């Protein structure tokens, strides 16, 4: 009887009845879901228990915009792939225009003109592998969304001289290093709240215990 039960389980698990027929992709915006489905199409017809997830991992690793993903098998015949895309944190100025990058410096998208609503990162001669880029990213990630939305440009030549330009009249922000960025972000938001947005000048939060606005 045990052998019979084992046989029934084996048949149920490995039967063509439980073979993969449908691949569903979710979480994609910039990633082409059709292309993702195409690279796993060779698994169609495979019993769910025999799907080669190692092969799927290898193929999905060729999509630079996929930060991570989770697979889920749903009997009798479906594979779900939940995709988490890379999110842009800023845009670098390149020889051909602008390049959206994520916090790891991975390129997401390129265009001849600037992308709206994303800070421009000016590193001078440095690039996304430099300490200056690392400091800029740390600063941007420390900002709450409402404050980040006001940042037009971030400039850094070294890891200790980050500065910002805000939208509107172009008020400047002297930030300094990325150290204590969360505290500096809170201080900057408080200074902005009590400063006329039409008044040109510079916020200085490089010393997080002593922020100031200097009119120009």
Q: What is the CATH number of the domain that holds 34?
A: 3.10.20.310
**Structural domain count, the chain:** 2
* Residues 14 and 49 placed together within one structural domain of the fold: yes
What pLDDT, on a 0 to 100 scale, did the predictor assign at position 17? 82
- Of 85, 103, 131, the position where a domain reaches its end is 85
- CB contact set of 167 (below 8 Å; sequence gap of 6+): 150, 151, 152
pLDDT digits (tens, 9 = 90+) for 130-167: 999 999 999 999 999 999 999 999 999 999 999 999 99
What domain range is 126 assigned to? 90-215
Instruction: Give the containing element (helix H, strand E) for 45.
Output: none
Q: Which residue reads 């940042």 in tokens?
A: 151
* Residues 49 and 153 placed together within one structural domain of the fold: no
CA nearest neighbour of 74 among 23, 37, 15: 23
Cα–Cα distances (Å) from 88 to 30, 106, 113, 206, in that order, read 11, 9, 16, 26
What pLDDT, on a 0 to 100 scale, did the predictor assign at position 195? 97
What pLDDT, on a 0 to 100 scale, did the predictor assign at position 123? 95
- CB contact set of 214 (below 8 Å; sequence gap of 6+): 201, 202, 204
Q: Which residues of the chain have pLDDT under 70?
A: 1-15
- Of 40, 62, 85, the position where a domain reaches its end is 85
112 burial (CB, 10 Å; 0-12 / 13-18 / 19+) is exposed
- Of 42, 70, 85, the position where a domain reaches its end is 85
Residue 97, domain CATH: 3.40.50
CB 110 within 8 A of CB 97: yes
- The C-alpha angle with vertex 143 and arms to 105 and 109, in degrees rounded to 5, equals 30
**Cα gap 33→48, rounded to integer Å:** 21
* Residues 207 and 115 placed together within one structural domain of the fold: yes
What pLDDT, on a 0 to 100 scale, did the predictor assign at position 8? 39
What pTM, to 2 d.p., does this model score? Answer: 0.81
């Amino acid at each position: 009887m045990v052998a019979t039960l084992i046989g029934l389980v084996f048949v149920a698990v490995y039967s063509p009845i439980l073979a993969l027929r449908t691949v569903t992709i979710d979480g994609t915006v910039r990633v082409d879901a059709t292309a993702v489905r195409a690279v796993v199409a060779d698994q169609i017809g495979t019993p769910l228990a025999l799907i080669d997830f190692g092969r799927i991992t290898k193929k999905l690793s060729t999509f630079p915009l996929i930060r991570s993903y989770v697979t889920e098998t749903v009997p009798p015949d479906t594979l779900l792939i939940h995709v988490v895309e890379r999110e842009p944190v800023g845009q670098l100025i390149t020889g051909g225009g602008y390049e959206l990058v994520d916090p790891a410096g991975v390129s997401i998208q390129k265009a001849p003109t600037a992308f709206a609503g994303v800070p421009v990162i000016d590193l001078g001669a440095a690039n996304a592998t430099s300490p200056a880029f690392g400091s800029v990213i740390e600063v941007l990630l420390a900002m709450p969304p409402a404050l980040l939305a006001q940042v037009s440009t971030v400039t850094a030549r070294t890891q200790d001289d980050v500065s910002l330009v805000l939208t509107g009249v172009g008020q400047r922000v002297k930030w300094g290093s990325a150290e204590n960025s969360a505290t500096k972000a809170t201080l900057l938001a408080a200074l902005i709240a009590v400063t006329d947005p039409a008044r040109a000048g510079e916020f200085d939060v490089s010393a997080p215990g002593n922020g100031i606005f200097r009119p120009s």
